Amino acid sequence: MSSLKAIRSLTDLGQNLRQARLARRFSIAELATRAGVSERTLMRLEKGDPGVGIGNLASVLAALGSPAVLADLMSPENDAVGLSRALEAVPKRGRSFKSNKPVQNQDDTSAQQDTPDSKRAARKGIAF
């Protein structure tokens, strides 16, 4: 693993798992049994070993009583970077639906005379 940020994140995750285990007063053996993983695997997780499978992490989280934590990591609602990028992709301008035609009251429409030119223009969608 070449990314220093990723290594630090795994180390922090391991420390957080250890704190959660201790807060629940579980020994390594007890939590490993509950999670269905070996004690060695649990110790590797707590040290931040990048070689431990994500399935083992999910099992330990479920045994700690937090199975949804893994799924919530990158949920769209919690992804600030993804949300900001999506907002940047929204078009800045939209189409204008304004009409150049002046707005007429219904009373004014009865005053219009039906001339052949106005009927022809109305069929073409042109208003005078």
Q: What is the pLDDT of residues 31-90, one digit of tens each?
A: 999 999 999 999 999 999 999 999 999 999 999 998 888 888 878 887 888 888 888 877
CA distance 67 to 9: 19
Give whole-number Cα distances, 114 to 17, 81, 102, in Å. 82, 60, 19
pLDDT number for residue 116: 58
pLDDT bin (cut points 50, 70, 90) of residue 113 is low
> pTM to 2 decimals?
0.62
Read off the pLDDT of residues 76-111 as tens digits, 9 standing for 90 and up: 887 888 888 888 877 777 666 665 656 565 555 544
What are the chain's domains?
A: 4-76 (1.10.260.40)
Assign 112 to helix, strand or coil.
coil
